[in-house]
Amino acid sequence: MRVARKRLTALLFASACSLVAAGTASAGNGGLAPFPPASKGASDLRHLYFYALVFAGGLCLLLVGFLGVAVLRGASGGGRIPGGRALPLVSLGLAAVVLAAVGSYSLVKLDGIKNGPKQALGVTANASSSGWAVNYPNGKTETGTLHVPVGRPVRILLASSDVAYTWWVPALGGAVDALPGRANSTWIEATKPGTYGSFDRRSPVQVVALSQPDFDAWYAQGGKK
């Protein structure tokens, strides 16, 4: 009777999980995928994410599967522990291989994704309570919007005049903080034209990616907001 109750719980849990799985699959971007990328950095991040998902997800399924088998065996009388004395080492080895695979590839890609190419158009963005004030090398300024050319890297030097702000445009890369008194930077190399926004409510920013000729035309109009 109690065994049946435990089996029922396991069944309910499994059904709940499958519902969740079905739900995630129906979520817009395929469920378990990051925001659709529109820049080189975001694309690289997405590839890295799927790579890590295979390893971490695989290990997770193994763990939960082992647990499921263990519960079913334990509930019906138990058995021999596989691997016996070697099991800790085997599990450590398996975990180490997975973590090393994810870690090594991540670290190899780290410099490229975080720092970007050396040659880039330099832009500064100063955050304050009135939003991000963007300054271009030719003297152009605008607030709350950044224009970038498709296919050319742009480096953004982030600064803050009072408190901490976060620059995060999910379509274009990872999050970076602007801390007062400190210099941080991020970079964007857009891969297709469009408007990409941050979802931050405190200091939102919109990045408008224009094709090269359109950007040159816009850039040449000095002093315009």
Q: What are the tokens at 12?
A: 């309910």
**201/225 with CB nearer another protein:** 201
* Nearer residue to another protein within complex by CB, 149 or 170: 170
Site for another protein in 154-173 (CB under 8 A): 160, 162-164, 166, 168, 170-171, 173
- Residues 182 to 221 in contact with another protein, rule: CB under 8 A: 182-185, 199-202
Nearest-angstrom CA–CA distance, 76 and 156: 62
CA distance 6 to 204: 50
Q: Which range touches another protein (CB under 8 A), out of 9-17, 118-126, 145-153, 215-223?
A: 9-17
Binding-residue total with another protein (CB under 8 A): 91
Mark the segment that binds another protein (CB under 8 A) among 65-73, 124-132, 141-149, 216-224: 65-73
Burial 88-108 (b: 16+ CB within 10 A, else e): eeeeeeeeeebeeebeeeeee
Of the candidate spans 57-65, 122-130, 139-147, 208-216, the one that interacts with another protein by CB under 8 A turns out to be 57-65
Name which of residues 100 to 129 contact another protein (CB under 8 A).
Answer: 100, 102-103, 106-107, 109-111, 113-115
Q: Is the dihedral of CA 74, 77, 83, 89 positive or negative?
A: positive
35, 85, 153, 161 from 149: Cα distances, Å: 21, 60, 8, 27
The β-bridge partners of 160 are: 127
Contact residue for another protein among 11, 13, 130, 194 (CB under 8 A):
13
Locate 68 and state its tokens: 């499921």
Q: Which of residues 66-105 bind another protein (CB under 8 A)?
A: 66-67, 69-71, 73-83, 85, 87-88, 91-92, 94-96, 99-100, 102-103
What count of Cα atoms within 13 Å lies in the side-chain half-sphere of residue 13?
8
The DSSP call for residue 224 is: -
Give the footprint of another protein on residues 15-54 (CB under 8 A): 16-17, 20, 23-24, 27-29, 31-35, 45, 48-49, 52
> Which of 16/220 has CB closer to another protein?
16
